[in-house]
Each structure stands twice: as C-alpha cells, then as structure tokens.
Amino acid sequence: MNCLIIRKIEQSEIETVRKKRLECYEEYKNFVSEDHWNALKGTLSSENDLKPGVEIYVAEIDNKIIGSIVLFPGKMEAYEWTTNIPDYPEIRMLAVDKDCRGKGIGRFLVQHCIETSYKQGYKAVGLHTAEFMKGALSLYTKMKFERVPELDFEPANDGITVKGFKYSIQQ
C-alpha cells in the first residue's frame, strides 16, 4: 500500500465524501427495512456533519480519498433519534471504499479519532453500529470497544437496534 494519509476534510470535498459514504453503505440496503434504509441514507448525507465542533477526517492514498469518518464532540447530539447524549465524543459514519477494505484503513481512521479525543482531554469515545454491519462490529470488538446497552436505540421502529459502544482511553 502506498502512503496512507489521515487528514481533515477540505470544504470543497464534502459532497464527494457524502457521495462515497452512500456508496459504501449501499451494501446494507437489503438487510434493513425501507424506512431504516431511508433513515440511514438521510443521516449519511445530512448537514449534521457540518455543526460547529464536528470534525470530518479522510483517508487518502495517492491524492485519492478512499475513506472517511466523522467525530462529534462530547455533549453534542450526534443522532436525531436519541435523547442519550454522552459527555464524550462520538464516532460516526466510518466509510471505506469497497476495494480498499481489509487493509486496516478503517482501524487507522478510528484510531485517529481516539487519539484526537485523547488530545482534547476526553477519557472515552463512543460509537453506534448495528448487527448487520458485520465488518464494523468485528473491527470495534477487536479494538476493545465495550457495549453500552443504555445508549442503544431503534431509529425506524423495525426491530433493528443500533447498539452503543464506548472505548475507554488509557491515560
């Protein structure tokens, strides 16, 4: 693999990143109800990632964006459907191009968010994922994210629970 760079997104790249996000999540369309897919699709392309304090990072190889991740600061509503707002940052919308998966890019993006959160003085970082996102679930488990069931929610009332996870940052 050529040199992987993780950097903050440039404003001119936001639409490209949102389009790529949708492409990456498209594979889940047949695993969920139409309502759930529409909720997920809406969240992937919403303006939520442009709120003050929200940071979007991209993974780049040879000047080509191959992945992205969003880091919401602590005490900010990262989801439209939940009232539980943790006091630590929340990782959202991890996306890696299909042809680049299995090379550790998702792990690098998540690790970057953990390190950024640590530098900002946080002792934890959270995220949510669903059972049908097998690759993400495996990654977060391997990285030692722990389940936080009280942060679970069901965005489309279709029986699919989006599960809360938390990573405790070692000081």
Model pLDDT for residues 54-82, shown as the tens digit of each residue: 999 999 999 999 999 999 998 776 555 45
Range of the domain at 51: 4-168
In the chain, how many domains are there? 1
- Using only C-alpha atoms, the chain has a radius of gyration, in whole angstroms, of 15
Round to whole Å and give the CA distance between 171 and 153.
30
Which CATH number is 76's domain given?
Answer: 3.40.630.30
What is residue 79's predicted lDDT score, i.e. its pLDDT? 56
Model pLDDT for residues 99-140, shown as the tens digit of each residue: 999 999 999 999 999 999 999 999 999 999 998 999 999 999
Cβ neighbours for 161, distance < 8 A, ≥ 6 positions apart: 130, 131, 152, 153, 154
Question: Would the pTM of this model clear 0.85, i.e. be above it?
Answer: yes
Round to whole Å and give the CA distance between 19 and 64.
14
State both tokens at 15.
């639409």
